[in-house]
Each structure stands twice: as structure tokens, then as C-alpha cells.
């Protein structure tokens, strides 16, 4: 199985263009479909353990893949039945249909089977499924022991990952040739179940990738606390949040972490200082983090204005993002990099609901501000002003608890202070945060997450 980390992610149009390139280079749609159908059959055969299979075929090339897969599955002796929602509408799908020698029943007449393969619609879905067809799909999926979607669950939109109607939750989705946004972005991603990537021999490239394990420098004989990265955190009214960020920054590998204007507490290694110009005018500061626990009163706004006026590399989170709404113009005038880490509410308050997918929205926000934007959630997207974007691949829904965002802000600050370029710092931070959550498994609190970063950082 191809690991998900680092893989390119293509929109429907990009995938079509990649397929066209393969065709122009001497291939054919039929050859691609033959390969795709064979790979689907291999995957289904492994998942089916010889149980009966029902393949649902739609009118397009997704349906074509279904007919080819059915032929291969029957060829290895599986009990395979095929049902179609409409006649094949493309030349390649017609050829694939002709290659299937068994009967084809209307989907409405199909009897359930232990293994359901959905090859109704893939990247060509244009509108919600006809209600009767959607109903059949749901019923047959409900009666199957295992449900497998070819390329995408029928009913999800490829690029902006919406669900058109009541789409079943599949056990496995077999992504053909490349991951698409719907495999990673919510809500579509949860309908995919476990997504597996099948190689169909198409060369794919994108400036959008799944986040991969970063490579970080190990301390050596020349290392000291300042060149390992100095993180300064501006504290405020809610001390717990800034302490979580501080502990996370330390455990993610920062050499020196100072909290300005906090109220004490935290690990002994944390340096407490008062919030004043001397503390901010320190050239050794590698990253200045403001937002976790800052508060939103006039005092908080003054601290933010001071932080924005420095020449330090900045990470803005939580309350700083709330206060930033009236100060967006400042971002354009800053020479040093800025990383913004909004959750969905903060993002909408700053940038509006916007158009397109979460990836489009994150990219537009990065372009507009010139900042790196970490658009958080179960499907965190990191975007740079130049259009590069990354999506988290390994998530843990137990992260949905207060304080885990403060931990993320601390980790990203440590990466930035350690000398990584801001886009790489943000993606490395998101990876470490997700890795610590994966190690913890279930039912943890933000303090546990911060503590677990020691193991995650040591693993790199």
C-alpha cells in the first residue's frame, strides 16, 4: 500500500490533464481503464476474502473501471454480479461494458452482496444522485459486510469535498492515480473510510501535497540554547493557554523559551519576564508568539501592537487573530514572516466564508495577507502566498479539545525559531502535533499532548 504522507493531491481537472498527458504520450483511455480496473480488482479481491461481490456501474469512466474490475474478479473465480444505473456513455466505458460477459441488471433490481463495490460516479459527478439511485446505494451499502468506493464515494464532490445528499460512509476508498481533495477534506473524507492509493501508471504533480514527516536538525557540538531557537511568548489574561504553548515549544525542541507578562507557573525551564521593550528588543528572538491566553481587552491590543511593530518572525494565534481584524494592513508592511493559525471561526471572521474549497480559501487568505496560513480543523491546510499548500494526512478527532491549538502554536513557533522557513515551519509543526496525538490515541488533554511532543521530536 502506498503511504499517504507526502503524496500529491490533484483536483478533477488536474487529474484529467495528467491522464491526458499519459494518453498523448502513447497511451489510451482504454489502457488506463484496463490498468485502473485491474488494480481495483486486486484490492477488492484482498478485501473480499472470496465473499460474493456486487459491482455498481455508472455511465462514465468510473463505471468503466467497475466493468473491468468485475471481469478480473470473475477471472480469478469470485462470485461477481454487476448492476448498472445507466448505459455506458463514453467509448471507453462502452468497451469495458462489452468486455464483461455476465449479465447486467438495473441497480433497482440488484440483490445485496457481502462486498459492495461502488463504481457509479467518480470525478465526473455533476449533481446529486437521482433520489431512487441514492436510495438503492444506501440500502445495498447497509446490507453489505464491506463497502468499497472506486476513486470516490458516489455523491461527494472531488474538489471542494462536499456531500451531495445522504452519501454512505464507505469502509475503503480506492483512489485512482492520485489523492483528490475529497479524500482529505471534510466532510467528504469521512465518507471515504480508509483511503488507499492505487498506481494506474499516470505521472502526477501538484503544488498541493499531504504533509510528510519533516527532517529536523539534531543538536550537535556547536549547539547552544540560543541557536537551537529562542521562542518568546507574549502572555496575557489566561495564563494556562500561554503555558501550554510554552511547554509545547520547549518539548518541540526550542533552545530557550521566555514568557513575557505571564503570571508564573509552567515548567521550571520556562523563563518568566515582564512585558517591556527590553524583553521585546532582543535580537536573539527567533519567533515571537502572541495570542494564546492574550485576552481581548485594551491591554491585549496594546501588546499586539507592540509585537506587530517588532521586526521578529511572528506567530499569531487565538485572541491575537481576533484583534488582528482591525489591523490587517499592518501585515503588508511587515518584512519578517508571519504565520497565522486560525480555526474555522477565526478564519471566517478574518477572511469571510469565501469561495471554493478549504484549500482555495487558505490559499486566497495567504495571498491576501502575504502570511503563511494554517487553517486548522480535522483537515488542517497550510498555505503559502506563492500557492504552495499542504494538508494533514494523519488526524485524530480526539484533538477536538480546548488547548490543543495553543500547543500547535507553540510547536510551530519552535520550528520557526529553529531557523526553518515559515512554510516548512508551519507544516513541520502540524506534523509533530498530529504525530503526538497519534501516539496518545484516545481521551487525552492538551497537557498530555504537549508532554508527548518530547517523543515525537525525539523520533525525528
Ligand X SMILES: NC(=O)C1=CN([C@@H]2O[C@H](COP(=O)(O)OP(=O)(O)OC[C@H]3O[C@@H](n4cnc5c(N)ncnc54)[C@H](O)[C@@H]3O)[C@@H](O)[C@H]2O)[C@@H](O)CC1
- 157 a known binding residue? no
Q: Does 125 bind ligand X (CB under 6 A)?
A: yes
E strands, 320-454, in order: 338-340, 372-375, 381-383, 389-391
Residues between 150 and 189 that touch ligand X (CB under 6 A): 150-151, 176
- 365 a known binding residue? no
**Shortest Å, Cβ 358 to ligand ADP:** 12
Binding test (CB under 6 A) with ligand X, winner from 21, 90, 401, 454: 90
Longest distance between any two alpha carbons in the chain, whole Å: 81
DSSP string spanning 295-352?
-SSHHHHHHHHHHHHSSS-EEE-HHHHHHHGGGHHHHHH--S-EEE---HHHHHHHH-
**Shortest Å, Cβ 381 to ligand X:** 23
**Shortest Å, Cβ 36 to ligand ADP:** 31
**Site map for K ion, 118-137, x if CB under 5 A?**
x-------------------
Residues between 102 and 121 that touch K ion (CB under 5 A): 118
E strands, 48-94, in order: 53-57, 80-84
Q: Does 150 bind K ion (CB under 5 A)?
A: yes
**Shortest Å, Cβ 116 to K ion:** 11
CA 458 to chain centre: 24
Paired residues of 391 in beta bridges: 210, 381
Site size with ligand ADP, rule: CB under 6 A? 17
**Shortest Å, Cβ 291 to ligand ADP:** 9
**Shortest Å, Cβ 233 to ligand ADP:** 14
Sheet with 53-57: list strands edge to edge.
104-106, 80-84, 53-57, 115-119, 146-150, 172-176, 194-198
Neighbour tally for 299: CB within 10 Å? 14
Q: Does 243 bind ligand X (CB under 6 A)?
A: no
Residues between 408 and 427 that touch ligand ADP (CB under 6 A): 408
CA gap 324, 321 in Å, rounded: 5
- 322 a known binding residue? no
With cell 520547549, the residue in question is 250
**Site map for K ion, 380-419, x if CB under 5 A?**
----------------------------------------
Q: Are residues 268 and 247 in contact, defined by beta-carbon separation less than 8 angstroms?
A: no
118 binds, among ligand X, K ion, ligand ADP, none (CB under 5 to 8 A by kind): K ion
**Shortest Å, Cβ 121 to K ion:** 6
CA gap 255, 444 in Å, rounded: 26
Supply 20's cell numbers. Answer: 491526458
Q: Does 136 bind ligand X (CB under 6 A)?
A: no
Instruction: Provide the Cα torsion 244, 250, 255, 260; round to 10°.
Output: 10
**Shortest Å, Cβ 409 to K ion:** 39
Q: Measured from the CB atom, is 57 or 257 closer to K ion?
A: 57
- 224 a known binding residue? no
Q: Does 400 bind ligand ADP (CB under 6 A)?
A: yes
104 binds, among ligand X, ligand ADP, K ion, none (CB under 5 to 8 A by kind): none
Q: Measured from the CB atom, is 137 or 307 closer to ligand X?
A: 137
Supply 440's cell numbers. Answer: 496518545
- 101 a known binding residue? no
**Shortest Å, Cβ 86 to ligand X:** 7
Please state whether 54 falls in left (phi above 0), alpha (psi between -120 and 50) or beta: beta
**187: preceding bond cis by omega (within 30 degrees):** yes
Q: Quick one: which of 333, 397, 383 has its CA closest to 354?
A: 383
CA gap 330, 129 in Å, rounded: 47
CA 440 to chain centre: 19
Helix H or strand E encompassing 78: none
- 79 a known binding residue? no
**Site map for ligand ADP, 309-348, x if CB under 6 A?**
---------x------------------------x-----
Q: Measured from the CB atom, is 166 or 397 closer to ligand ADP?
A: 397
Residues between 30 and 89 that touch ligand X (CB under 6 A): 32-33, 36, 58-65, 89
Work out whether strand 146-150 and strand 256-260 pair parallel, antiparallel, or are unpaired. Answer: unpaired
Q: Report the interface residues with ligand X, using CB under 6 A.
A: 19, 29, 32-33, 36, 58-65, 89-90, 121-130, 150-151, 176, 200
Q: Which residues are annotated as a binding site for (6S)-NADPHX?
A: 61-65, 122-128, 151, 241, 293, 343, 406
Amino acid at each position: 500500500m502506498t503511504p499517504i504522507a507526502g503524496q500529491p493531491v490533484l483536483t478533477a481537472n488536474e487529474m484529467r490533464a495528467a491522464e491526458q498527458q499519459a494518453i498523448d504520450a502513447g497511451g489510451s483511455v482504454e489502457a488506463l481503464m484496463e490498468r485502473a480496473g485491474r488494480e481495483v480488482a486486486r484490492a477488492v479481491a484482498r478485501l473480499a476474502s472470496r465473499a460474493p461481490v456486487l459491482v455498481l456501474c455508472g455511465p462514465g469512466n468510473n463505471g468503466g473501471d467497475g466493468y473491468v474490475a468485475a471481469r478480473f474478479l470473475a477471472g480469478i473465480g469470485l462470485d461477481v454480479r454487476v448492476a448498472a444505473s445507466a448505459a455506458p456513455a463514453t467509448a471507453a466505458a462502452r468497451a469495458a461494458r462489452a468486455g464483461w460477459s455476465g449479465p447486467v441488471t438495473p441497480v433497482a433490481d440488484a440483490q445485496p452482496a457481502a462486498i459492495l463495490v461502488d463504481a457509479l460516479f467518480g470525478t465526473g459527478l455533476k449533481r446529486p444522485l437521482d433520489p431512487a439511485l441514492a436510495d438503492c446505494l444506501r440500502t445495498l451499502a447497509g446490507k453489505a459486510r464491506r463497502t468499497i468506493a472506486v476513486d470516490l464515494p458516489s455523491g461527494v464532490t472531488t474538489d471542494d469535498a462536499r456531500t451531495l445528499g445522504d452519501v454512505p460512509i464507505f469502509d475503503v476508498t480506492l483512489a485512482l492515480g492520485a489523492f483528490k481533495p475529497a479524500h482529505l477534506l471534510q466532510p467528504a473524507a469521512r465518507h471515504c473510510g480508509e483511503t488507499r492509493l492505487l498506481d494506474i501508471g499516470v505521472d502526477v504533480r501538484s503544488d498541493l501535497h499531504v504533509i510528510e514527516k519533516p527532517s529536523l536538525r539534531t543538536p550537535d557540538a556547536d549547539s547552544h540554547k540560543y541557536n537551537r531557537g529562542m521562542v518568546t511568548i507574549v502572555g496575557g489574561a489566561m495564563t494556562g493557554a500561554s503555558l501550554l504553548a510554552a511547554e509545547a515549544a520547549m518539548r518541540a525542541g526550542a533552545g530557550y523559551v521566555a514568557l513575557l507578562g505571564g503570571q508564573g507557573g509552567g515548567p521550571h525551564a520556562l523563563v518568566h519576564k515582564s512585558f517591556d521593550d527590553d524583553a521585546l528588543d532582543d535580537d536573539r528572538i527567533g519567533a515571537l508568539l502572541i495570542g494564546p491566553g492574550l485576552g481581548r481587552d485594551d491591554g491585549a491590543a496594546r501588546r499586539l501592537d507592540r509585537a506587530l511593530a517588532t521586526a521578529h518572525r511572528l506567530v499569531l494565534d487565538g485572541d491575537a487573530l481576533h484583534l488582528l481584524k482591525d489591523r490587517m494592513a499592518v501585515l503588508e508592511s511587515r518584512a519578517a514572516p508571519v504565520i497565522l493559525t486560525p480555526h474555522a471561526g477565526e478564519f471566517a471572521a478574518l477572511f469571510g466564508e469565501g469561495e471554493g474549497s478549504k484549500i482555495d480559501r487558505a490559499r486566497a487568505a495567504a495571498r491576501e495577507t502575504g502570511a503563511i496560513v494554517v487553517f486548522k480543523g480535522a483537515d488542517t491546510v497550510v498555505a503559502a502566498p506563492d500557492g504552495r499548500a499542504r494538508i494533514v494526512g494523519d488526524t485524530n478527532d480526539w484533538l477536538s479539545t480546548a488547548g490543543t491549538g495553543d500547543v500547535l502554536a507553540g510547536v510551530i513557533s519552535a520550528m520557526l525559531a529553529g531557523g526553518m522557513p515559515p512554510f516548512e515551519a508551519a507544516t513541520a509543526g502540524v506534523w509533530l502535533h498530529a504525530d503526538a496525538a497519534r501516539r496518545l490515541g484516545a481521551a487525552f488533554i492538551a497537557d498530555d499532548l504537549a508532554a508527548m511532543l518530547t517523543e515525537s521530536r525525539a523520533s525525528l
